[in-house]
A and B are shown apart, each in its own frame.
Chain A
Amino acid sequence: MISVKNLSHSYSEDEKLAVKNISFEVENGETFGFLGPSGAGKSTTQGVLTGLLKLQAGEVFVASYDIRKVQKERFNKIGVSFEQSNVYGKLTARENLEYYAKLFDVPTRDPMELIHLVGLDGKENVRVGEFSKGMKHRLTFARSMINYPELWFLDEPTTGLDPAIAATIKDIIREQTTKGTTSFLTTHNMYIADELCDRVAFIIDGEIKLIDSPKNLKLQYGHKLVDIEYIDGGKVVKETLKTADELGRKHIAEIIKNHEIQTMHTKEATLEEIFIQVTGRELVYDETA
């Protein structure tokens, strides 16, 4: 569905590259996560893929279209959910969706169905200018589904949403995936990537460091851990120990034998911990970005 070969991009059109010679492919029906901190090159890559930025170097095919050629009809197959909500404040939620529906040449979804899907029932006739940031974000997300997209670009789809709404959005993405929609998810949030993505790419400083499935990454880089709390000399002691490690296993056995255990949980390394391990960088998110 997406094929990127040797893509580079510079905003100043010189050697200062925001994206440096990256290559990857996204298969049909796959949910592909593009992960990295702010300024890593995620939005630039998505900008080139969606045609908002001009392709300067490399080859990019999106939904079977060579994006070097101007073919606006490719957007009939594509949906884009922007990180920053961008809907008309002077139009109502319904008018916004009805307007966008008319811009496509393919059958479109019922605006009311989408409004219901993202939990904006009862707000359809309210001008979007009166919406909260989260409500606008949900409407922007809903709009991206108006044309039954085969390829769906999702830029930070749950940012700024309360946990209940974020869970609803994740459920919608999962449901679309089961229907065969290919998703390109751009995020700094490793938890949502872990939950939703078939494969993830770690991008930092404009370069892709690795691409694999979250499961393989955990097998390759992660270690099973045990969080243990026990009483030692009247005090509560907390330790995290690696079970893959012989020394760790012996230490766990020694604690169980000689101390009173308060709590004990096994856990896997998170994608975020693996990202830090692989890239040496933390996923600091800039709210202003």
Chain B
Amino acid sequence: MKLLSNYIKEMKIAARGFYFYIEIGMAVLILAILLFAVSETSTSSRKQFVYSDMPGEITEYLRDRSIKKGEARLADPIEFELKPATFEITSQETGETTAYSFDDEKTIELETLQMLDSSTGELEETLYYAETEEDMIRLAYSEGEIGATAAMDPYGKVSYTYYLQGYETDRLKSLLYASHSESPGAVEAKQDRQVVRTLGVSETLNNRENLVPLFIAYMGSLMGFFIVMAYIFYDKDEGVIRAFAVTPASIWKYLITKIFVILTTVVVSSSIITIPVMGGQPNYFLFYPFLMVTTFAIASLGLLVASFFDNISKSFGVMYVIMIILMIPAFSYYIPSFDPLWIRVFPTYPMLQGFKEILLNGDASYVLTYTFAFLAGGLVLFALADNRFKKTLTV
């Protein structure tokens, strides 16, 4: 009864304040952007710098064959500036390190070949052909892209040496190995024999859908973290926490109702975004519990942080640092090749991956594992916050 009374009171206050409407308004705005400004297919494509260590006729033959098959088209040559640079390259096979140092500055023009999706005709990857292997390596280094040397062995088989940035995932490396493990002809022959079945679930999210986990995770975590702190500081400013403390109701009931308000707002705003974009594809029985436990955990962190400060201005430094930390996994989400182990420690990493799995209707065990992990973490943080608030009520 006290919990319900607290919740009704908090919802009235939230409905009469502006935070609530900001979040709902944000959700509507994000939905509008997703539906009307973001296309379902990605317009971005990969880049690769290539040096062909083969006779010119063979390079030309391979290129023309791709163009004739509709897999590629020639584009206007592109100019690149090369600047002085010093770096090392370590061979993954031998472990040997080679040092490179370039002092000169020059502008070079590279032949450009655009690789196309054979079914849709859309641009997939752009290959820039360097005249020398050194130029290719310098460009891969300065542009932060993959470089490759294509050579022909004495048996007439094309082999590739890739120059990576060092942070690429093992998955990407394995993919590169696999794509060249057999001759293109053999791969094609195998592909022709394969029976393709369309499953009832999609395996990847399209460009628009791919943005949904990002918005949901950060609406729940960043906004929940910030807004719960704002609510607490508002109450501290009005002194109502002290008034509550001299009633028979427990402090935890006061704190949990703040989180209930955040949960209500997050569920509404996330539904506004998710349902119109994803339709019936996600597993909503996993989605809502995961959304609620992640929001609960991060909002509990907000409560704990708020218990250390008297007002919002004093908390800005810590609040800012935590929000930045929570945002870091977004880089990994958007740049799959950037996936170091340390980034997985941040709570928003499994949040993003979890939402992605849910929207894909994918790995339920991953989602359930983290649902319980966030619930447990949230309970610990909430208990700590409750303990802090009991101690820090001052006259």
* Interface 9-mer from A29-37, A44-52, A200-208: A44-52
Q: When A and B form their complex, what is the total count of cross-chain residue pairs whose Cβ atoms lie within 8 Å?
A: 77
Q: Does B9 contact A (CB under 8 A)?
A: yes
In the complex, what residues of A have CB within 8 A of residue B1's CB? 102
Distance between A20 CB and nearest chain B CB, rounded to angstroms? 17
* Size class of the A contact interface (CB-based, 8 Å): 35 or more
In the complex, what residues of A have CB within 8 A of residue B240's CB? 86-88
* A73 x B12 contact (CB < 8 A): no
In the complex, what residues of B have CB within 8 A of residue A78's CB? 246
List the B residue with the shortest CB-CB distance to A92: B12
Given A43-B395, A46-B395, A90-B12: A51 and B245 interface contact (C-beta under 8 Å): yes
* A90 x B17 contact (CB < 8 A): yes
Q: Does A221 contact B (CB under 8 A)?
A: no
Q: Does A54 contact B (CB under 8 A)?
A: yes
Per-residue contact bits, chain B 234-271, to A (CB 8 Å; 1 contact, 0 not): 00001110111111111000000000000000000000
* B239 x A72 contact (CB < 8 A): no
Q: Does A277 contact B (CB under 8 A)?
A: no
Distance between A25 CB and nearest chain B CB, rounded to angstroms? 21
Q: Does B391 contact A (CB under 8 A)?
A: yes
* A52 x B238 contact (CB < 8 A): no
Distance between A207 CB and nearest chain B CB, rounded to angstroms? 19
List the B residue with the shortest CB-CB distance to A48: B395
Residues 104-119 of A contacting B (Cβ, < 8 Å):
104-105
Q: For the complex, what is the distance from the CA of A100 to the CA of B254, rounded to whole Å?
A: 12
Q: Does A120 contact B (CB under 8 A)?
A: no
* B249 x A103 contact (CB < 8 A): yes
* A89 x B238 contact (CB < 8 A): yes
* A103 x B248 contact (CB < 8 A): yes
Q: Does A199 contact B (CB under 8 A)?
A: no
Per-residue contact bits, chain A 107-148, to B (CB 8 Å; 1 contact, 0 not): 000000000000000000001000000000000100100000
Residues 1-51 of A contacting B (Cβ, < 8 Å):
43-44, 46-47, 50-51
Q: Does B119 contact A (CB under 8 A)?
A: no
Residues 360-395 of B contacting A (Cβ, < 8 Å):
391, 393-395
* A103 x B247 contact (CB < 8 A): yes
Q: For the complex, what is the distance from the CA of A99 to the CA of B248, rounded to whole Å?
A: 13
In the complex, what residues of B have CB within 8 A of residue A185's CB? none
Distance between A64 CB and nearest chain B CB, rounded to angstroms? 15
In the complex, what residues of B have CB within 8 A of residue A85's CB? 239
* A86 x B395 contact (CB < 8 A): no
Point out which of A47, A80, A102 has the most chain B C-beta atoms below 10 A from its C-beta: A102
Partner of B248, one of A73, A86, A95: A73
Point out which of A50, A74, A88, A103 has the most chain B C-beta atoms below 10 A from its C-beta: A103
Point out which of A43, A52, A76, A87 has the most chain B C-beta atoms below 10 A from its C-beta: A52
In the complex, what residues of B have CB within 8 A of residue A44's CB? 395
List the A residue with the shortest CB-CB distance to B251: A72
Q: For the complex, what is the distance from the CA of A126 to the CA of B129, rounded to whole Å?
A: 75
* B248 x A72 contact (CB < 8 A): yes
In the complex, what residues of B have CB within 8 A of residue A100's CB? 243, 247
* A99 x B245 contact (CB < 8 A): no
* A143 x B246 contact (CB < 8 A): no
Q: For the complex, what is the distance from the CA of A258 to the CA of B27, rounded to whole Å?
A: 92
In the complex, what residues of B have CB within 8 A of residue A140's CB? 243
Q: How many residues of B contact A (CB 8 A)?
A: 25
* B9 x A72 contact (CB < 8 A): no
* A86 x B246 contact (CB < 8 A): no
* B2 x A82 contact (CB < 8 A): no
Per-residue contact bits, chain A 261-275, to B (CB 8 Å; 1 contact, 0 not): 000000000000000
Partner of B5, one of A74, A91, A103, A105: A103
Q: Does A172 contact B (CB under 8 A)?
A: no
Distance between A129 CB and nearest chain B CB, rounded to angstroms? 9
* A102 x B238 contact (CB < 8 A): no
Point out which of B12, B238, B394 has the most chain A C-beta atoms below 10 A from its C-beta: B238
Distance between A85 CB and nearest chain B CB, rounded to angstroms? 8
Q: For the complex, what is the distance from the CA of A100 to the CA of B249, rounded to whole Å?
A: 10
List the B residue with the shortest CB-CB distance to A106: B248
Q: For the complex, what is the distance from the CA of A187 to the CA of B242, rounded to whole Å?
A: 19
In the complex, what residues of B have CB within 8 A of residue A47's CB? 394-395
Q: For the complex, what is the distance from the CA of A72 to the CA of B1, rounded to whole Å?
A: 16
Q: Does B187 contact A (CB under 8 A)?
A: no
Q: Does B108 contact A (CB under 8 A)?
A: no
List the B residue with the shortest CB-CB distance to A128: B238
Q: For the complex, what is the distance from the CA of A43 to the CA of B243, rounded to whole Å?
A: 15
In the complex, what residues of B have CB within 8 A of residue A74's CB? 248
Q: Does A75 contact B (CB under 8 A)?
A: yes
Per-residue contact bits, chain B 44-61, to A (CB 8 Å; 1 contact, 0 not): 000000000000000000
In the complex, what residues of B have CB within 8 A of residue A105's CB? 248
In the complex, what residues of B have CB within 8 A of residue A73's CB? 248
In the complex, what residues of B have CB within 8 A of residue A76's CB? 248
In the complex, what residues of B have CB within 8 A of residue A53's CB? 394-395
Partner of A143, one of B2, B238, B243, B248: B243
In the complex, what residues of B have CB within 8 A of residue A54's CB? 391
In the complex, what residues of A have CB within 8 A of residue B2's CB? 102-103
Distance between A101 CB and nearest chain B CB, rounded to angstroms? 9
Q: Does B85 contact A (CB under 8 A)?
A: no
List the B residue with the shortest CB-CB distance to A85: B239
* A75 x B239 contact (CB < 8 A): no
- CB pairs A–B below 8 angstroms (19 shown): A47-B394, A50-B246, A51-B245, A53-B394, A53-B395, A54-B391, A72-B250, A75-B247, A80-B243, A80-B246, A82-B243, A84-B239, A86-B239, A87-B240, A88-B238, A90-B16, A91-B12, A95-B12, A103-B2
Interface residues, chain A, with chain B CB atoms under 8 Å away: 43-44, 46-47, 50-54, 72-76, 78, 80, 82, 84-91, 95, 99-100, 102-105, 127, 140, 143
Other than the given A75-B247, A84-B239, A102-B2, 7 more pairs (CB < 8 A) read A47-B395, A50-B246, A51-B245, A73-B248, A86-B238, A86-B239, A104-B248
